[in-house]
Structure 1
Amino acid sequence: MQSQKDVIAIYGARVHNLKNIDLEIPRNKLVVFTGKSGSGKSSLAFDTIHAEGQRRYLETFNAYARQFLGNMDRPEVDKITGLSPVVAIEQKTTSKNPRSTVGTITEIYDYLRLLYARVGTAYSYNSGKKMVRFTDDQIIDLLVKDLNDKSINILAPIVRSRKGHYAELFHSLAKKGYLKVRVDGEIMEIRPSLKLDRYKTHDIEVVIDRLTVSQKNKKRLLASLKLAMNDGDGVMMVMELGKESARYFSRSLMCLETGIAYKNPEPNSFSFNSPKGACQSCNGLGKYKIVDEDKIIPNKDLSINKGAIAPIANRKSDWIISQIELIGKKYNFSLNTPFSEIPAIGVEAIMYGIEDTLKVHLTSAGISKTYKLNFDGIVNFIKEQSKHSDIKSIEKWADKYMSELDCKSCGGSRLNIESSHFKVADKSIYEVSNMDISTFACWVNSIETSLNKNELKIAKQIIKELSKRLQFIIDVGLSYLTLNRSSKTLSGGEAQRIRLATQIGTQLTNVLYILDEPSIGLHQRDNLKLIESLKKLRDIGNSVIVVEHDKDMIKQADFIVDLGPGAGIHGGEVVSQGDYKAILKDNHSTASYLNGTKAIQIPKRREGNGKFLSLRGAKGNNLKDVDVNIP
């Protein structure tokens, strides 16, 4: 009998098919619950131990907090002692949120954003050249060096490619004492009557000062520079008299060639879930939906009456069918015409509607009425339902006939154009997010060679944290994933192992972790890595319970609980318990298969019937346009 402090003691567990089980499980060990499917493993691990742990946790809150959290029923068990805080890592997908990715749920992307904000190099999206940042003194020194004894205009850009007449702006500038502006490349005086074409886009700069550059004029030059920077929101222009070209200077990041400026980067500048970083066209989703005509008409050999138009295939007599029938009379086809034989103008009308008002005769409850209706087309109807329906079932219905395409503005990167043009070690954040994790880990380990001493000092701790978290992901057998992979496309096993890697990364101790068959779908090599990860979790001072059938996992366990002997009403008992050697001595349930007394016979290969299940162009998740024939 072990000390009460060293065990989790369960008395009288009767949840589901469990038969009044009494059991002592050693703490801070890797424990495997095994046995036939339906023998009571999950009932003991999740519905008894985890449920009681959760219930006790909720009881630590005061009554006011519990009214929002709800109460949990006590599982059917007499008593459990020695229970630590419990974390269950089950096999279920983490999130249906399209904004959730492998990078965000593991928090690796958070460190990556920090890295790019601190040591990223900005490049102009116009010229592709490196952006520069100046101090006021650097600008003065450059002007004196390059334009000494030359006359210049100092200007502040205040309008860029925007429509409007700007009469109020010119009036405001005149009140401040300014005399001239440069409008669309032409310098003109500010007059009370100055007004631009409101329907054209304009570039406007205010002339701050006109002076000759020299050492003597440095004070005036500096004063004008500060005024220009203030009015130009951190950007100013210098034009040599008699020349059309301008030189741009900025306190923030700026392209010397084209004059575009970026705001100083922050971690949120690289977040597609923040307005500061997200592409404005797709709001950071990287994709947009369009109605797919091929999904609306999956089989053009069918007639409308036979179900050619999938969204209305089950409708035989209603207003939409009546409208299409009237369109058919106009364009010479019927509801029995194969869709492939309907004239192009008729197909266009069905899909996108017609301008004419249609008179539709409908009979309901023996009463016939005539309605004047506009027909907007099947495509527009689905589009409308998708955008404006508050009913989930209708939105889901519309979704069946839509396809996703990469956003044209950001190319699927989810980020705005500025954020996409910062690089670390010659890679943008989108490029590294598309690497598989093993390649990404190699890239992270090579970053230091591309950084200068100051950058390295800033980035060293970030790189260390990235490397550590990436190794946790690799250790649980997920090196093939990318950070950009949407979490809703992960299998239950992948999602479970990601949560496991995240938990290992937290370095919590004195916690009881419960996992549900984490080895499912893993290659033998990766399975051994997974077992080592569970041992790491144990070695830092945690208890780990794994519901598992895998032989390697059972062999490596410190303690095994074999439930059975059968399933359902024939299970629910502890058949044997102990370490692997102790289990092998027992010929009941799982042990008889482990020691070779029993074996599952592999059925002989059966000849097929010569027919195949054919798949063409499979592109789901990470599939790359796969064609396959399955016998």
Structure 2
Amino acid sequence: MVRVRGASEHNLRHVDVDIPRDAIVAFTGVSGSGKSSLAFGTVYAEAQRRYLESVAPYARRLIQQGHNPAVEEITGLPPAVALQQRRGAPSSRSTVGTLTTLSNSVRMLFSRAGTYPEGAEGSLDSDAFSPNTAAGACPECSGLGTVHDVTESSLVPDPGLSIREGAVAAWPGAWQGKNLRDILVHLGHDVDVPWQELPRDVRDWILFTEEQPVVEITPQRDRVAKPYKGRFWSARSHVLHTLADSASPQMRERALRFVVTGPCRVCGGAGLRPEALAVTFGGRTIAEFNGATLAELAEAVRPTAGLEQAGTASRAVTSGERSQAAVTIARDLLARLEVLLGLGLGYLSLDRSTPTLSPGEMQRLRIATQLRSGLFGVVYVLDEPSAGLHPADAEPLLAVLEELKASGNSVFVVEHDMAVVRRADWVVDVGPQAGDRGGSVLYSGPVPGLAEVPASVTRPFLFPDPATAAPAPAARRPERWLQLRGVSRHNLVDLDAEIPLGVLTAVTGVSGSGKSTLVSQVLAETAGRHLHGGPGSTGDDEAAPAPGARVGSAEGLEHLDRLIRVDQRPIGRTPRSNLATYTGLFDAVRKLYAATDEARARGYGAGRFSFNVAGGRCETCQGEGFLAVELLFLPGTYGPCPDCRGARYNPETLEVTHRGRSIADVLGMRVETAAEFLADVPAAARSLRALLDVGLGYLRLGQPATELSGGEAQRIKLAAELQRARRGHTLYLLDEPTTGLHPQDVQALLGQLNRLVDAGNTVVVVEHAMDVVASSDWVIDMGPSGGEAGGRILCAGTPAEVAACPSSRTAPYLAAALR
């Protein structure tokens, strides 16, 4: 047993609990109940601390170290390995090959055992086969495989307009666009004739010059404005500079509208130097290896991997496909590939970019890497391993967890999927609620025993009683449709799709079937182009193709006024961004404090109560509330600011109170507490009500954005949208919104999505949770499998109609949920 005594991490209430080893243990409870604080913040953190104590002090400085958990004692704890959900967006250079390290083996295979052109035998090391290194990257495209360029037609979509009328659409609007126009006037160019009437050399200079002249500008129409120096940027320079250096996704997305993207002419899209592309293995180049599916790759190396067993490998051969090196590398590569094939990922390729993968695919890739490590006697602590998985995909995952246990390991999973919890050997239920009302272990024992714990919020979902189930609401029938014809992207090939408007639609299918491609990419980009304009946007029913996709036609877009994509990207990149600032409720709080008698007597405005600007903030920590503490041989950490002690503000600002509480006290409140305290402040109360409605009452108002999970970030964005004034004809797109949610929280989320639909909007969710699918008005099921075996719409209709579809892998699970 792992015996935990006196655990007080975060909201844990001095917890004592015994957890069995050599078993699959599920940690359950509502979001914010404390289950992750117990599994990761206590058990795993203590295992990591003990391991690092055995590492040489100097080496510790090179390792990212965690914190020391707030626990009195843990006994019986083996070494631990954690697999947590990744936060933030992965790099575009990250691929399936780099994530699994399979690319390293493939590069070694080509370097040591490839067939070289005559006269170049074995002359390249493995770095020369990587597009991410200076030795291997194609000099033309810097290893990206694609090149961005611009043309006159992409920069000037309507040559009948003059420059003053906005002919050069790629230039930014507002002051900078006028600035560039005024510079051209002072350089002697006519900005009032149609673009097509300007001389060719003038048009080329305006669009493509690398020169950046600076001229003195005297505004002609505004006698108040003063003369200023203006620098000219050509349209091409502005677009490419924005793509390369802008940190704003919105700016990059806008710039991409004016870009013509295609494969590099030198490397053909491989991202490699010609010398590397001349080497082959089994008749294939490394680019062909990287582009093949994992199943095809396994078949390509299988003959070489079997040479040693057949006695046909020669130790006398020092290079080539029959050498000992080739056999050794190929056998290791094949063994690792077969693990991925067993998890149903054979349709992926090594060069598949990780940003295009679903959360379920990412999770299985990480688990497969651990499975091949060969460790035993350790505790694997997994954060929602079923997240993003279709129920059919969860079956091989459960087999992997059983295999890890059979190898002599303990498997601790923080889990919300009741199907996974039922298969566990032991369950630790934490709660009963979130935040201050959670933090207690309600039950620790075999799964059936949880049925006898009435205080458990998990119990009714793990052991449902059909007699107490609420009747399903009547499904809304769609009256209008959005029709996409001839859609091609990734594994979608000439697909026709009909999305109903004014209802809640769930798009389902196994991982890799094309759900996210259809909804989060093609539908989002097509609707976005229609609503927000851009080159080629016609403004009528026929939408221009989305970047990277081919859409033959799109009808029904005229029924939409707005597009809202609610994704799981972070709401901020720094600790200064938090829940209160993102939702805008902090503006109302600052105005509230500025309106107090004390603040008015002192002359404090609302700006005084911002921790981001000088004046009211603590200048020692610049309003962050903490300072970084660097320790020579111990993990770097953060400590409370010695002056403000974490309050963020200077003493004078904190002397201003409302109902006995300072503004720092408000930032320290949880949402549920703040909702009571600020009930008489309409702007803040509306935001807090929306946050409560999506199950985020346990979060602190000042909780840094960097501490929030992807699911929490997505729900905060949804809450920010819910608090706005109701208006119909908006298309809401959500990709797996129930990720990280307890079934009770899922029910609350469903209520909010239905509110949006009842207000006349359209909600489309990519979803694997069958209770959400069963509660939808319309279901679009894709498949039948992933990759090339997917990309088709198998059936569409009401949940009951899809549940009866014989070709659907979703149908049996949906039928069970409906029952």
Corresponding residue of 1:352:
208
CA displacement 1:473-492 (0-9 Å, x = unmatched): 22334222211112344344
Which residue of the other structure, out of 458, 461, 475, is the alignment partner of 1:593? Answer: 461
Superposition deviation, residue 439 in structure 1: 2.7
**1:284 aligns to what?**
143
Q: CA deviation at 1:89?
A: 0.9
Task: Give distance in 2, aligned partners of 1:413 and 1:287.
Answer: 9
Q: Judge conservation of contact 2:383–2:414 (CA < 8 Å) in 1.
A: yes
Asked if 1:105 corresponds to 2:136, the answer is no
**Deviation per residue, 1:353-409 (Å, 9 max, x gap):** 5999976324999574376x674422223435666x6xx648994675145532211
User: Is residue 79 from structure 1 mapped to residue 73 from structure 2 by the alignment?
Assistant: yes
Within 5 Å, give how 1:186-585 maps onto structure 2.
253-254=118-119, 264-291=123-150, 309=169, 311-315=171-175, 319-323=179-183, 330-333=190-193, 350-352=206-208, 360-362=217-219, 366=224, 368-369=226-227, 375-384=232-241, 393=247, 397=251, 400-402=254-256, 403=259, 404-447=261-304, 453-454=313-314, 455-456=321-322, 458=324, 459-585=326-452
Amino acid at match of 1:26: P
Aligned equivalents of 1:542 and 1:443: distance in 2?
33
Amino acid at match of 2:457: S
> For the Cα contact (< 8 Å) 1:360–1:370, is it kept in 2?
yes
Is the contact between residue 170 and residue 235 of structure 2 (CA under 8 Å) also seen in structure 1? no
Give the conservation status (yes or no) of the 8 Å contact 2:83–2:381: yes
1:610 and 2:467 matched:
no
SS in 1 for 2:106: helix
Structure 1 residue 263, shift from structure 2 partner: 5.6
Q: Per the alignment, in what secondary structure is the counterpart of residue 589 of structure 1?
A: coil
Give the Cα–Cα distance (whole angstroms) in 2 for the partners of residues 81 and 367 of structure 1: 73
For residues 321-359 of structure 1, what are the alpha-carbon distances to aligned partners after superposition, in whole Å with 9 as ceiling and x for unaligned?
4235668961534xxx9x9x9869686565335999976
- Aligned with 1:593: secondary structure? helix
Q: Measured at CA, do residues 294 and 16 of structure 1 come closer, stay the same or move farther in structure 2, by a change above 3 Å?
A: farther
Relative to 1, partners in 2 of residues 1:575 and 1:74: Cα closer, same or farther, differing over 3 Å?
same
6, 25, 28: which one aligns with 1:31: 25
In structure 1, what residue type is equivalent to 2:294? I
How far apart in 1 are the matches of 2:156 and 2:20?
Answer: 62
Q: How many angstroms does 1:545 deviate by?
A: 0.9
Segment drifting more, 66-75 vs 601-610: 66-75
Q: Which of 69, 76, 84 is equivalent to 1:90?
A: 84
1:93 touches 1:487 (CA, 8 Å); kept in 2?
A: no
The residue number in structure 2 matching 1:42 is: 36
Aligned partner of 2:525 in structure 1 is none
Q: How big is each residue's C-alpha offset from its partner over 1:552-576, in whole Å with a ceiling of 9 and x where there is no partner?
A: 3222212111223333444333232
CA distance in 2, matches of 1:116, 1:68: 32
Deviation for aligned residue 1:601: 6.0
CA distance in 2, matches of 1:517, 1:344: 63
Q: Deviations over 1:183-242 (max 9, x none)?
A: xxxxxxxxxxxxxxxxxxxxxxxxxxxxxxxxxxxxxxxxxxxxxxxxxxxxxxxxxxxx
Secondary structure of the equivalent of 1:330? coil
Which residue of 2 is the match for residue 234 of structure 1?
none
Deviation for aligned residue 1:447? 4.6
Counterpart contact for 2:11–2:438, Cα < 8 Å: yes
Q: Is the 8 A contact 1:295 1:401 kept in 2?
A: no
Contact 2:96–2:349 under 8 Å retained in 1: yes
Equivalent residue of 1:412, what SS?
coil
> Unaligned 5+ residue runs, structure 2?
315-320, 501-819
TM-score, structure 1 as length reference = 0.65
Q: TM-score scaled to structure 2, two decimals?
A: 0.51
For residues 15-37 of structure 1, what are the alpha-carbon distances to aligned partners after superposition, in whole Å with 9 as ceiling and x for unaligned? 33333321111112211112333
Matches of 1:316 and 1:629, distance apart in 2: 41
Contact 2:96–2:354, Cα closer than 8 Å, also in 1: yes
Is the 2:17–2:444 contact (alpha carbons within 8 Å) kept by the matching residues of 1? no
- Measured after TM superposition, the shift of residue 585 of structure 1 is 4.7
Q: 1:299 to 1:38 in 2, by over 3 A?
A: farther
Q: Secondary structure at the match of 2:349?
A: coil
CA distance in 2, matches of 1:601, 1:298: 55
Match of residue 528 from structure 2: none
- The correspondence for 1:15, drawn from 9, 34, 48, is 9
- Residue in 1 aligned with 2:603? none
Q: CA deviation at 1:319?
A: 2.8
CA shift for structure 1 position 584? 4.0
| Inter-CA distance 592–367: structure 2 relative to 1 (3 Å threshold) | closer
Structure that is richer in strand per residue = 1
Structure 1, unpaired ranges of 5+: 1-6, 123-130, 132-252, 255-260
Deviations 1:43-77, CA, capped at 9 Å, x for gaps: 22222223333344444456555567687543333
**Alpha-carbon distance in 1 for matches of 2:228, 2:458:** 74
Task: Indicate the structure whose relative CO is greater, using CA pairs within 8 Å and at least 6 residues apart.
Answer: 1
Deviations 1:262-312 (A, max 9, x none): 664543443334444433323333223335878867899999788773652
CA distance in 1, matches of 2:482, 2:7: 50
Q: Contact 1:318–1:362 (CA<8 Å) still a contact in 2?
A: no
Letter in 2 for 1:439: E
Residue 83 of structure 1, CA deviation: 2.4
The answer to whether the 8 A contact 1:116-1:424 is kept is yes
Q: 1:313 to 1:26 in 2, by over 3 A?
A: same
Alignment-derived partner of residue 178 in structure 1? none
Q: Which moved more, 1:294-303 or 1:509-518?
A: 294-303
Alpha-carbon distance between aligned partners in 2 of 1:313 and 1:556, rounded to the nearest angstrom = 58
Which has the larger displacement, 322-331 or 412-421? 322-331
1:80 & 1:306 partners in 2: Cα distance? 72
Say if 1:475 and 1:316 are closer, same or farther in 2 by CA, change over 3 A: same
Q: 1:615 to 1:361 in 2, by over 3 A?
A: farther
Aligned with 1:289: secondary structure? strand
Identity, % of aligned pairs? 34
Task: Give the secondary-structure state (helix, strand or coil) at the position aligned to 1:576.
Answer: strand
The residue that corresponds to 2:717 in the other structure is: none
Two-structure CA RMSD over aligned residues (Å):
4.1
Once residues 602 and 482 of structure 1 are traced to their aligned partners in structure 2, the CA distance between those partners, rounded to angstroms, is: 42
Closer/same/farther in 2, CA of residues 322 and 30 from structure 1, 3 Å limit: same
> May I ask how many residue pairs the two structures share in their alignment?
480
Cα 1:602/1:262, change in 2 over 3 Å? farther
Change over 3 Å in CA distance of 1:483–1:393 after alignment to 2: closer
